[in-house]
Amino acid sequence: MTRQQRIRTARPRHYAGKVDLTKRRLWFADLVPVVASVQLVTGGGGQVTGGATGIRAQIVYKDTSDGEWKLADANAAATLSTVRDNIGLLMTDMYNANQCLIAKHGDRVDLGVTLVAGTRYGITSTDAVTANGAAGGIVALSALGTGDTPVLLFIGEGTNIATLNIVIGTVIP
């Protein structure tokens, strides 16, 4: 067998089967920041009261029913506010009924992990059919699917620094 024949056998030129995009989405995983390296670079952030347990670099939202901040989920549109100031990124660990620091829209943060330039990152979904992440996680927006509410957090710049630019979308039909 010649070298060309081996290459053609290993990498077929055309794929005759159909591509199932819902299965493709399962390949995405939540971004895994280096928790010890997460810090506020510029911006004021804000002190808030936690309503659950969370760790640095998780995404939180303000629960308007009790005023506490909880872990966000793109699959739970009812929990996400339409006000971008009610969504933030934890800068300190969060405990129920205790104060914690969050970064808000416009703040620059160091996530301790290199972000892919041009990739749009948002809140993950706990829906097992789409992103299958954990509440409060960060994922590429392309991993979201039907029933999820895309919330753009930032666009990767090819470094570990990100500027929070929160944009809330509508539920994906």
Give tens-digit pLDDT for 51-75. Answer: 999 999 999 999 888 999 999 988 8
Q: Cite the DSSP H helix spans in the chain.
A: 3-10, 21-25
Find the range with the poorest average confidence among 3-17, 62-76, 135-149: 3-17
- Could you tell me the residue range of the domain that residue 93 belongs to? 19-168
Query: How far lies 14's CA from each of 11, 18, 67, 141, 170, in Å?
Result: 9, 11, 55, 28, 36
- pLDDT at residue number 116: 92
CA separation for the pair 15, 108 (Å, rounded) = 43
With respect to residue 5, please indicate whether it lies within any of the assigned structural domains.
Answer: no
pTM (2 decimals)? 0.79
CA 173 to CA 171: how far, in whole Å? 6
Q: Please indicate, yes or no, if residue 11 is contained in any of the structural domains.
A: no
Is 10 a domain residue?
A: no
Residue 2 in domain: no
Q: List phi, psi (to 5°) of 100.
A: -145, 165
Whether residue 54 is contained in a domain is answered as yes
Q: Which amino acid is at 131?
A: A
Mean pLDDT of the chain: 82
Q: Is residue 120 part of a domain?
A: yes
